[in-house]
Amino acid sequence: MGFRSIFDVPDVRAEFEKAGINTHFIPFIWKYVIKNPNCEWDEIPDLPSAAYSLLRSKFKTFTSSVDSVINSNDGVTTKLLVKLQNGAFVEAVIMRYDTRLGKYGGKPRPGGPRSTLCISSQVGCKMGCKFCATGSMGFKNNLSSGEIVEQLVHASCLSQIRNVVFMGMGEPLNNYSAVVEAVRAMSGAPFQLSPRRITVSTVGIIHAINKLHKDLPGLNLAVSLHAPVQDVRCQIMPAARAFPLAKLMDALQVYQKNSKQKIFIEYIMLDGVNDEEHHAHQLGKLLETFDVVVNLIPFNPIGSLSQFRTSSEEKVLTFQKILRGVNNIRTTVRKQMGQDISGACGQLVVNSLDEKPKNSGVTDIEDLVSRR
């Protein structure tokens, strides 16, 4: 086994306890590494001598590195290509917002600039969603909790991160333990991100949803629903066959009852597939007993990988109007960001473990928690 990430919480804690070193040093080490990313272990002050020996023999400050950074023309989106220890690549996307630019109740919004980081949890994905380029890769490997947290550390060198969304490459709940440990690390010292500032998105892994509220109380859950009926969902999301819509909705009812939290519903708009008025009425009926926010996502074309077309703006607005007016469901339309750097929703793709992503790769990720 190679060197492990200092941000791999279970490994670090286990090794410290085994060596009889107090684990309260771990957040202190993290804080120093975050502020001094190129440091050597011996430069960290005031650690027990046993800690220095342990760190040198088993851990690295970073097991991943930033291979390239690409900024959008408007400067609001930054894409990081991150190289992992095994040579694989994942992408993370920083999206910058300014709440003062919008209005709420006819008045300027309070607040100011903030950044949301979209991170990956796997290389590739097993789910095979037909509108998502990552699914075309197949599944390569899970990320460790340290590799997930390191994306936040890398991004923090470029921007002050306020929110984190697990909407990059991979299905987070198929890498459950690593994602849980990563979220716990992010919400503790020294990161101190409130769980309400962290969102995990899933296609609907029912057995994982059933335990999520206990393992990560306060976390935001986003569900990639994308269709209001089972047959359409299976048509565009093959994994839906294993997670029938009726059973998924039952699991979400239980989750909401136990967590007492709003659920975010992601719905990609595919012309002629799931964007007709009757689909909007079906979706409204499906969600009428839930406390949800529906986020309508204009489809980002993926070249030869996709047989789908983007819904017209008129269709998207009509869909939104039905959900709002008929069903009184809060419905937003995702703002497209970073398309000029392939930094928009559903397009993250890496061609192989030995090949860097080309510029046909990332998706725009909405700041789902920005208005909370």
Summarised one tens digit per residue, pLDDT across range 252-308 is 999 999 999 999 999 999 999 999 999 999 999 999 999 999 999 999 877 666 689
190-208 pLDDT per residue, tens? 999 999 999 999 999 999 9
pLDDT band for 2, please (50, 70, 90 cuts): confident
pLDDT band for 356, please (50, 70, 90 cuts): very low
Instruction: Answer whether residue 240 shows pLDDT above 50.
Output: yes
Q: In the prediction, which pLDDT does 296 show? A: 98
Q: In the prediction, which pLDDT does 114 show? A: 83
Query: Whole-number mean pLDDT of the chain?
Result: 88
DSSP secondary structure letter of residue 216 = S
- Residue with more model confidence, 71 or 304: 71
Q: What is the pTM of this model?
A: 0.89
Contacts of 188 (CB under 8 A, 6+ apart): 27
- Residue with more model confidence, 98 or 271: 271
Q: Is 369 exposed, middle or buried (0-12, 13-18, 19+ CB in 10 A)?
A: buried
Instruction: Answer whether residue 239 shows pLDDT above 90.
Output: yes
Coil/strand/helix, residue 223:
strand
What are the backbone dihedrals phi and psi of residue 261, each rounded to the nearest 5 degrees, phi first?
-120, 150
* Domains of the chain by start residue, with CATH: 4-60 (no CATH), 65-341 (3.20.20.70)
pLDDT band for 364, please (50, 70, 90 cuts): very low
Among 257, 258, 319, CA closest to 294: 319
Q: In the prediction, which pLDDT does 140 show? A: 94
**198 has which bridge partners?**
164
pLDDT band for 209, please (50, 70, 90 cuts): very high
Contacts of 87 (CB under 8 A, 6+ apart): 353, 354
Say which range, 107-121, 175-189, 231-245, 296-310, has the weakest mean pLDDT.
107-121
Instruction: Answer whether residue 107 shows pLDDT above 90.
Output: no
Distance, in Å, from the CA atom of 275 to the CA atom of 307, rounded to the nearest integer, reads 15
DSSP secondary structure letter of residue 14 = H
Contacts of 278 (CB under 8 A, 6+ apart): none
What are the backbone dihedrals phi and psi of residue 37, each rounded to the nearest 5 degrees, phi first?
-65, -20
Q: In the prediction, which pLDDT does 138 show? A: 87
Contact yes or no for 183/198 (Cβ under 8 A): yes
Q: What angle do CA 343, 90, 57 make, to 5 degrees?
A: 145
* Share above pLDDT 90 across residues of the chain, in percent, rounded to a whole number: 78
Q: In the prediction, which pLDDT does 302 show? A: 72
- Token pair 């910058």: residue: 96
**141 has which bridge partners?**
123
Active site residues: 91, 345
Distance, in Å, from the CA atom of 143 to the CA atom of 90, rounded to the nearest integer, reads 10
Q: In the prediction, which pLDDT does 349 show? A: 57
Distance, in Å, from the CA atom of 91 to the CA atom of 341, rounded to the nearest integer, reads 12
Instruction: Answer whether residue 104 shows pLDDT above 50.
Output: no
Q: How far is CA 28 from CA 6, 7, 25, 45, 289, in A?
A: 12, 12, 5, 10, 46
* Share above pLDDT 70 across residues of the chain, in percent, rounded to a whole number: 85
The whole-number average pLDDT for the span 147-160 is: 97
Instruction: Answer whether residue 351 shows pLDDT above 50.
Output: no
The whole-number average pLDDT for the span 320-342 is: 82
Distance, in Å, from the CA atom of 254 to the CA atom of 327, rounded to the nearest integer, reads 21
The whole-number average pLDDT for the span 181-191 is: 97
pLDDT band for 357, please (50, 70, 90 cuts): very low
Contact yes or no for 64/85 (Cβ under 8 A): yes
Distance, in Å, from the CA atom of 131 to the CA atom of 128, rounded to the nearest integer, reads 9
Instruction: Answer whether residue 47 shows pLDDT above 70.
Output: yes
What are the backbone dihedrals phi and psi of residue 200, each rounded to the nearest 5 degrees, phi first?
-110, 125
Q: In the prediction, which pLDDT does 175 show? A: 99
Q: How far is CA 61 from CA 38, 64, 69, 114, in A?
A: 8, 9, 20, 27
Displacement of CA 18 from its chain's centroid (Å): 33
What are the backbone dihedrals phi and psi of residue 313, each rounded to the nearest 5 degrees, phi first?
-60, -35
Among 195, 219, 188, CA closest to 30: 188
